[in-house]
Structure formats: C-alpha cells, structure tokens
Structure 1
Amino acid sequence: MSTAAVTDKKLEEASMTTCFVIAPIGNEHAPDGSPELLAYEENLEIYEKVILPACAKYGIVPVRADGIAGTGEITEQICRHVLRDDIVIADLTGGNANVTYELGIRHLTGKPIIHIGEHGQLPFDLSLIRTIMFKRSRSGLVGARRDLETALKGSLDNRFEPLTPARILFGLPVAPLPESAVEAERDDLDTPGLFDRFARVEAQAEAIGETAEAIAGFMTVISEAAVQIGPVMERAAQPGTPMSAWLPAMTELARSMAEPASGLREACTRFAGQMVEMDAAVQTAFDVIEAMPAEQRAGSPTGFLEQMISTAESTHEVVGVLGEVEVGMRWLVKMSRELRVPGRDLTAAVKQVSGVMTRVADWERRARALI
C-alpha cells in the first residue's frame, strides 16, 4: 500500500473515532462566585486547552455531557456514550460523584479510558490508577496536552490494557498496569523518511482541501438559513409588535441551523487535526529547502512554498468568515435560549480552527522568507 493510501486510511479511521469526556460539568448559569460556576469555568478550561487540541491532532471530535444534541433522557445518553464510545477521557479533578460513577461503568467495558487530573485534586481511591497529572498553569496545561496526545495515540494503536474490573469480568488474568500510560514514541523502522514526509504533505493537503470545502458548504447552509428567516425577523421587528413574536423566528432559525452547525464543528475539528498532523512534514520540507542554494529552489521547491502561502491565506479567510458568523451568533444566543446549542457549536468551530493559526502563520512566514 502506498504512503498516500496509508495516510488517507489513517485519516479516515481517525475521523470515525468516537470520544466521550467524563468531567464535572458545573453550571454556567449559576450566580457569579458560586462553586457551581467556578467548577464550570475550571473544567471548561481543561476541556478547551487540553482535551480539544489533543483530540484535534487525530481528527477526533470529543463530546461532553453538555454537548449532547437531541432529545431523550440525559442519563441514558451519557451511559450510551460511556459504554459504546471508542475512547473515554475522564477528568478526575475534584473527585466528583457523577464522574466516579461513570468511571466505574467504563472500567467494566475493557475499552480505552484515559485519566487526567489536577495535582492534589484526585479522590484517594483512584490515585493508584495511572493518571496524567497537571498543574493549572500555562506550562502545566501544555504538558498535559502533549501527554494526552501520546495517550490518545496509544489508544488508537490498541496499545492499552483493560483495567482489573474488566479483566475479572471477562475472566482474563489480572496483569500489572503498563509501565507508562504516556510513553514516548519510539524511533523504529516505521519512522517516515524525507520522501515519505513529502508524500504525506501532498496527501494531507488534498484531504485538507476536501475538509475546507466541507466547511465552506456548512457555512453556506448556515448563511442561507439566516437569509430565509429574515422576513419573519423583519415582521417581528415592526413597531408595536410584541416581543413574543420573535420566539417563533428564533425557534425556526435554531431548527434550521442545528445540523449544519454540528457538521461545521466536526469539520473544523477534523481540519485542525489534519493541520497539526501535517505540521511535522511541512517543517521538514522547509528545513530541506532552507539548506538548498537559492538557485536550486526553482521548480518543485518554489511550488511547495507557493502552496504553503496559498494554504495560509485561505485559512486566514476561513477564520475571518467563521469569526464574523460566530460574533453574530453570540448576539442571537443572548436573545433566545433556542440558539444556544448551534451557537456553542459555532464557537467550538472557531476555536478549533483558530487554535492552529500559529502553525499556519509560521508556514507563511517561512515560505515567504524562502521564496
């Protein structure tokens, strides 16, 4: 199988991976200064700065309990995710009772589960289970993200051991825990060479282009939904019209935007993961071109540099449009709770793409310096 085919297969497999996040959600609508609001903000920080970007590296879309769309009993939906999802990430910080309950259910499945937690905030009876520990500082969160990336790769490569409850349930021998839940990637025969990396750039650039087209498609659907609901909103804005006249418009807008907003979030997560995955090969290519004499950069090297500049410019455009839509949505969300779910998806989409802009800006800087 060619390198390009292997890359496409890995991207396809990663895009289908399901991941549920067990965490103490808190309450974003609780009074200022309350423990519930503090818990919400603290755990949202871990989700956005550690879990989301780590999952984005592999094109995984992580789901929290407050991100489950659709109707139905919330407890049932959580149980289904805990039992069925390919990977579960559990934030044990604070020893939340619901987290501990859901954790016990997952331990019985024998499926991959990754534990993370803040130093000094773990429940005693879980402290012996190997956990990615972090301090709530900038460097601490960066380290936790990197450790989680490695642990996710181990799960995707099936390098994990069922915990003791699952071993007993399935009649397996009780084995010691693996030497490390977060181990360094070995430099072995599978490590790609220079031309493998160039081939990977080409394959991933094509995949990224397809994802970008999907993002544009979802954006078009969202824009059309807003345009179609425009006349209803204009009638509701007429002088003397009661404020309740806005509610049907908001409900209809939320209904028409729910599916494309969810799809946009997933596409942006996949896009961010593809960009992160592509970064190592791109940086290697830059290093090689930089070592070439200027007169030898004509042809393919120059074409590669122009492609990186074009990629950066188009990504900047995507972020700009996403940002404009998200700002408008932020205003609408304040007007009606009906729009909170699609609004949250749009915000997550913006953050996913914005999170890779540092890498993209570096590509553009290096490309322009060498061209």
Structure 2
Amino acid sequence: MSDTTLEWPDRTLESLATYLNGYAFKPRHWGDEGLPIVRIRELLDEDVEPDRYAGNEAAAFKIDDGDLIFSWSATLAALIWTRGPALLNQHLFKVSPAADVDRDFLNHLLNFHLEALAARSHGTTMKHITRGDLASHSVRLPQRNEQVRIAKVLNTLDEQIRAAESITEKLVTIEGAVLNDLLRGIPEGSDRRLGDLLLTPPKNGYSPVAASEQTGAYMLGLGCLTRRGFVPRQLKHAPRRDTRLQPFLLRDGDVLMSRSNTRELVGQVGIFRDVGAPCYYPDLMMRLVPSESIGAEYLAIVLNSASVRRQIMNVASGTSGSMVKVSRSIVEALTLPVPAPVDQDRIVAAVVGLRSALDLELEQLQKTRLLKVGLMRDLLTGLVRVPSGASS
C-alpha cells in the first residue's frame, strides 16, 4: 500500500462541501436595477451584460468575491467568483467547503474531475450531473496543510496563465489598431470591388463522405479557418478514387474563405499551407484567386480587417438563427482598399511582425497550460508530493 493511500483517505465530492443550488429566476424578476443575476453564460463570460434583480426573494442566494461556484448543467465548470456582489441562478452551485477542506484546493480538485463527471452526466438535450453523482464520485483528500501547498503551486500557474492571456489580448488589440491605422492611411479613391481583383469567380469546394481510415490525402474541416487565419486542424481522410475531388486540390498559398458559419465567424479567410499530403477544400469554403493587382497575403489581411468583417456580417444571410452564409455575388461585391504593391508589402510586413510576437506569446501560453494539466494530475492524485516548506 502506497504512502498516498495511507495518508490520503477516500472521500466523496459531496462530503467535501455543501452545495447550494441557485434561485430559479423567472422573467418577472428581470430588470435593469439591483444585483446582477449570474447564469452559466455570465459565469463564463465577463463581457455579457446581465439581467438584474432588486427584490428580496433571492437574498439567500447572494454571492460575493471569493465564493466558489460550480456549474453542474450544460457546461461543467468551477471557478472562484471575483466580480462583486451578485445573485446565483439555478444550475449553479455555491460551494461552501467543509472545515477540513481548503477552498482553492477544492476549486482545482473539481476542475480536475470535470472530465470524469462529464462522462457520467445525464440528459439528452442539456447534460447535467446530480447530487448523486457527487455522492458516488470518490477522491483522495490530503491533510489541509498539504492541500494549501498544492493549491499554492497551481494558483501560481493560474496567475502566469492569466498574465499571458492579458498580454495576448493586448497584442491582438494592438494588431487591430495598427492595421486600421495603416488602412486609413491609404489614399482616397483606392477602394476596389473584390470581384474585379480576382482572376476567376470564387469557387465552392466539394464535400464527399470522409473515409474511415487513412488514405494519404485529406479534406479540410471548416475549423481550419480561424481568426488567426489557416490552422491545419480538423483534417478528414479523403476518399480514394473519387475523381470529382481533383478540381479542389489545394496548392500552398491558396486563399480560402468560409462561406457558412455563425455571423461572427462566416467569411473568415486564411492562406492554405502545405500539410505534407494532398489536401482538398470543402463545399463550405471558397477559393479566391487574386490577380496581379493584389497580393495574396494582403488580400487575406484586409478581408479579415474590422471594416471588411463588418461588411460581411451585415450582408450574410440565412434562415437559421445561428448559421448564415455568404454567396459568390456577396463576396464579389465586397469593397476593400487596394494601395500600390509596395504599400501592400509594407502593410503585410507590419502585421506579420506583430503576429510573430503574438505567436510567441501564444506558444508560451500553451506550454504553461499543458504544464498545469500535468501538475494537476501529479499533485491532485498524490503521485508527486509538495513537501512542507516548499515555495511556489
């Protein structure tokens, strides 16, 4: 029997705290005054403007800075609240740790076990876990002083992650501001219709059923086009011997645009980069072939700029509340500033330089996140111990 087994007794998640479910607010409670109502959306997104409630019915469900909140329905998540007095909606637990449980340690422990809890979640439309799941989910609990040491190590990594996220957000903002300034500096009368800048009309791809095994060739998924441009992810195996794919074979440097997505994401543009095997683009993307009057890099940058993104979002159409499309005629009618080639190159160089700095920060951020994942596994299972007196 290991030292950890002897020193860390088995406990259930239910035994580590009391879990108070939030109040079932109804539309009649909503208003513009009073304390904010915290639903799952408000819990996870600081920028959402909440409904408010000024009455007394929900006084028992007030939360404040330092409270541990656990979302147990739809999206499982645990975090420590830091946005001042508020009122907790149903589907969220206010978690009050037991006397022998450290709050920060419990926060990390819940997050570590979210994947296992999600695997046993109930429901067909909105997945959720029950108090019974908490009562049957076993964990090992170290002594409180060791909990504090473990939490201190993980909190330090969280601080590093938040600092890196703040830097990346600032760099994204700077990139957008610099690009807008550069585009505003282009002489008046330089706007051109996109259709007049292409050698051929925008052409949709082709989406056969993906093969279930490796075939030596790939098809792009819609997720390959992101706010950061082309990312080689969500690749699917292309079927063998489908000759209809051939016209949609990609070449390194091809410009691609998504033609269907949410309003915020439709029309995103990226430049395809070789993935080491033949690759084809799907029906939900268009290939844009620029003429000599506009460089591919500049075209991708300006199409992803704030001013052109607004054009795209304003004209995208669809019957679905979430998914919209842009047609070939819509894409061809977009207007964008087109300076002389030397000025296009100057703008591209400035943006690429900023993106290089951002890419370095994103790489470091990902490394820190992976380090935390590994340390959570080691520290929260007792595989690695944090000795008394150890610093963060």
TM-score by shorter chain over 0.5: no
State the TM bucket, normalised to the shorter chain: under 0.3
Task: Please report the TM-score for the alignment, with normalisation by the length of structure 2.
Answer: 0.25
Higher helix share: 1
Scaled by the length of structure 1, the TM-score of the pair is 0.26
Give 1 or 2 for the bigger CA radius of gyration. Answer: 2
